[in-house]
Structure 1
Amino acid sequence: MNLYGIEIDYGLYKHFLEYLSDNEIDALFHSVTKPPSRYYIRVNTTKISRRDLMKRLNSRGVQAYPDEHFDDALWLPVEGPFDIPTARKQVIVDKKAAESVMLGADLYAPGIVKTDHVKEGDEVNIVSDNGVVVAFGTAVVDSDEILKTRRGLYIKVEKSLYKAPKIRDLPEYKEGLLYSQSLPAIAVGHVAKRARASTAVDLNAAPGGKATHLAQIGLRIIAVDRSWPKIEKLKEEVKRLGLADRIDVVLHDSRYLDRDFPRLAADLALVDPPCTDIGVRPKIYHKVTIEMAKTLSRYQIQFLKTALKIAPTVIYSTCTLTYIENEDVIRKVGAEPVDTGLEIGAPGWGCPECRRFLPHIHNTPGFFIALLRRRR
């Protein structure tokens, strides 16, 4: 079953029908093919106030507005969709590059799948590998050179399907004054703040959004991830934000933390495990089956069981929307959901204490948050 480029099997469709109407399923999957109308950043309040960062951004023509719910969040408008001019030449790019370019990012060499013979200065269309035209731009180098080196900028984007602020180009980004993070992910930090913890273990820490947020709030963090490249990027973010004195970064498979570090304990644990990513926006295409969700749920249960051994309180979050990977995972580990204190989002499916963010309703990525207590 193909819903706007998102392929799901009949089993997953039936699974969603237990909680949503057919029209709601259609609206949900249509919404994830587009970005939210607000692009969120988290203010690094250890370096600057929200008011002062907003003034700095506005002074350079970047319109930033205070979020209504969280005092360390700003949002910037996302414009579009726009019509893309037609060019005679094309560059085919992979899914990851297409989803970035469609928001206005320039195209770099690693995202190239195939390219016409292009000379510096040629106008080109950037096209995803499933045929969606995402942008129009101008080549800054010849195709022969970019294919030889496979490094650097290839196409300077002039018109994209949507236009989001280029946060990484700002001096404020380089100074570590902000972190690009969705509203629901920022909400996780505020749930942690209300838990009144002083120490935390983040079992799925990369790329570092939640760990650095908790450190910013004042917690001492152990940030764990099993991937060396992700650990390196996490360390870079910690350094950029000036939080290295509050975060210890550990390379390990966190499913086995309780076995390999038997004395490890904290007030709070965060679990944001690998999932089917259904809520991530915008998507060019995606494919998910019910069996994929079931397989990942078994993996998620391992992380959550370990977290509940390390800490009496756990925040479980995902960027997906299946019941199997969210409320059912909580049910199977036997944790006790408690009120998150959040006023945004909607109650969980069969879990009123949990919070769900539905893209077609809340103008956010799809997301799930639960605050859990270890049963005695």
Structure 2
Amino acid sequence: MEKFTKWLSEPPKYTTFRINRLSPFNCDILKNFLSIQAAELNTSTLPNFYLLTSDCLVLERWPEEYTNVNATKTVIVDSLCAAAVLRGANVFAPGVMGFPVDCKLNDVVEIYGDLSGHCKRGLKVEYSGEKLFVGTGTVKMLRNDLYNKGIQPSGIAVKTIMPASRLPVINEQIYPDGIIVLQNLPSIVCGWVVDARPNEYILDMCAAPGNKTTHLAEMANDKAVIIALDKTSQKVEKIKENCIKQGVTCVRAYTFDSTKCSSNESIGRDFSPPYYPNSFDKVLLDAPCSGLGQRPMLKNKITPKMLESYKFVQRKLMSMAVEVLKVGGRLVYSTCTVTVDENEGMVQWALQKFPCLKLISAHPLHGGPGLAGCGLNDEQRFMVQRFSPEVDPLREAEPIYRDTIGFFIAAFTKI
């Protein structure tokens, strides 16, 4: 357990981007960007990067020869911001908690994450609570911009020079809109498992922000009918925005509660919900979950009561997914958590609850098998994918798939 907890507290050793299959991709743009960064960092060695598949780009860390710039001032950020910095992000204004009064623009500062959660926003003096060094950066906003204008600040407050993880500071904007998407590797694998094809009717039940949705559209060469649902209108707008950005036209996004998406008296028009039973060739249920697989997890605020609640909404969603799936269709269930109740436990519950469901291989099998002793036999464990650091002799995952966020994927068919 100690090894697993340590794994959760650390970021993966690489960053993954999904490449838009509908657009040409040029590796030289990334190489040139990294070369400019290398010159600024006074190093001649670039991070290694390569195509894992035609739609997945892997970017590794800066070499160990790099040494951090000396800094005499410290900025304190909240735990979520600190985790993002360790993954290669800049420091955005809402995450800044403590900021020295004598900081000037372009000052080099050390960035620390507030692990205890006790830092008061606007702190002027040195923070005495538990903190973690997460990187160095240059100041891009002054204290007055952060705290004294009476409005919520936005924008980059500190431009990260080098995270403590040595992951490159890079985002999608180095390419034209929609060419690459920052996406965790298991999330990309999830799209491969759905395996969207042209002319299929596909439902993405909990689709926001649309990364998996657009991946499915691209896999189908933008020639499927993909329905994307989310119960929050702002999130649905984000799905639509991402579809436009990535040149996807086959997605129809609706604000709707997927726990009510099936009806024998469907009133939907022009693909709008709810839907008759047996409507979809494929259903993706990337379920709301406790999110306990996110890395690095520097602070966990979830309570036992909250943890217990997720399986109930997941079961409601699974019930709807089974209803709207066609006989012979494929249902893919996924979470970004590590709990048994939300993963192996959900598979066990679904198979017992729905005799029409049959567990099938969540191919391609890149993650490890399901956990032993958690309700699934070895044959069933082999069919699912659990992304974690453990090595299981039933199926040993390659190292790159063991150094991801915690994630789970299962696939079913309806008989």
Structure-1-length-normalised TM-score: 0.83
Query: Out of 247, 258, 271, which is 2:251 matched to?
Result: 247
Report what 1:198 is aligned to: 200
CA distance in 2 between partners of 1:207 and 1:125 (Å): 32
Report what 2:410 is aligned to: 370
CA distance in 1 between partners of 2:199 and 2:23 (Å): 22
Q: What secondary structure sits across from 2:293 in the alignment?
A: coil
Asked if residue 292 in structure 1 is aligned to residue 306 in structure 2, the reply is yes
8 A contact 2:196–2:216 mirrored in 1 = no
Asked if residue 112 in structure 1 is aligned to residue 129 in structure 2, the reply is no
> How many residues are aligned here?
344
CA distance in 1 between partners of 2:408 and 2:20 (Å): 24
8 A contact 1:101–1:135 mirrored in 2 = yes
Which structure's residues are more often helix, by fraction? 1
Report what 2:22 is aligned to: 46
Asked if residue 338 in structure 1 is aligned to residue 360 in structure 2, the reply is yes
Q: What secondary structure sits across from 2:308 in the alignment?
A: helix
Query: Out of 323, 333, 338, which is 1:309 matched to?
Result: 323
CA distance in 1 between partners of 2:390 and 2:168 (Å): 22
Asked if residue 97 in structure 1 is aligned to residue 81 in structure 2, the reply is yes
Query: Out of 34, 41, 50, which is 1:65 matched to?
Result: 50
Distance 1:329 1:80, change over 3 A: farther
Partner deviation per Cα, 1:23-56 (whole Å, 9 max, x = no partner): xx222221122222221111111112xxx43344
8 A contact 1:318–1:369 mirrored in 2 = yes
Tell me, which stretches of 5 or more residues in structure 1 are unaligned?
1-24
Report what 1:230 is aligned to: 235
8 A contact 2:161–2:169 mirrored in 1 = no
Asked if residue 355 in structure 1 is aligned to residue 385 in structure 2, the reply is yes
Q: What secondary structure sits across from 1:32 in the alignment?
A: helix
Report what 1:146 is aligned to: 146
Q: What secondary structure sits across from 2:280 in the alignment?
A: coil
Query: Out of 110, 114, 123, which is 1:125 matched to?
Result: 110
C-alpha RMSD of matched pairs (Å): 2.5
Amino acid at match of 1:348: G
Report what 2:335 is aligned to: 318
CA distance in 2 between partners of 1:360 and 1:333 (Å): 25
Asked if residue 155 in structure 1 is aligned to residue 158 in structure 2, the reply is yes
Report what 2:344 is aligned to: 327
CA distance in 1 between partners of 2:68 and 2:307 (Å): 36
- Structure 1 residue 205 displacement after superposition: 0.5
Tell me, which stretches of 5 or more residues in structure 2 are unaligned?
36-47, 116-130, 264-272, 352-356, 392-401
CA distance in 2 between partners of 1:141 and 1:154 (Å): 5
- Structure 1 residue 289 displacement after superposition: 5.1
Q: What secondary structure sits across from 2:190 in the alignment?
A: helix
CA distance in 2 between partners of 1:322 and 1:103 (Å): 23
8 A contact 1:201–1:223 mirrored in 2 = yes
Partner deviation per Cα, 1:332-372 (whole Å, 9 max, x = no partner): 23332111222321222323211111135512211110011
Distance 1:279 1:27, change over 3 A: same
Distance 1:269 1:343, change over 3 A: closer
Report what 1:75 is aligned to: 58
CA distance in 1 between partners of 2:331 and 2:197 (Å): 10
Amino acid at match of 1:125: E
CA distance in 1 between partners of 2:51 and 2:183 (Å): 14
8 A contact 1:359–1:365 mirrored in 2 = no
Q: What secondary structure sits across from 1:132 in the alignment?
A: strand
Distance 1:47 1:355, change over 3 A: same
Q: What secondary structure sits across from 1:47 in the alignment?
A: coil
CA distance in 2 between partners of 1:170 and 1:127 (Å): 26
Report what 1:281 is aligned to: 295
Q: What secondary structure sits across from 1:359 in the alignment?
A: coil
Amino acid at match of 2:225: R
CA distance in 1 between partners of 2:287 and 2:339 (Å): 14
- Structure 1 residue 72 displacement after superposition: 1.8
CA distance in 1 between partners of 2:15 and 2:4 (Å): 19
8 A contact 1:80–1:162 mirrored in 2 = no
CA distance in 1 between partners of 2:241 and 2:5 (Å): 34
Distance 1:90 1:204, change over 3 A: same
Amino acid at match of 1:58: K
Query: Out of 23, 32, 35, which is 2:11 matched to?
Result: 35
Distance 1:256 1:118, change over 3 A: farther
Asked if residue 165 in structure 1 is aligned to residue 168 in structure 2, the reply is yes
Which of 1 and 2 has greater Rg? 2
Amino acid at match of 2:290: T
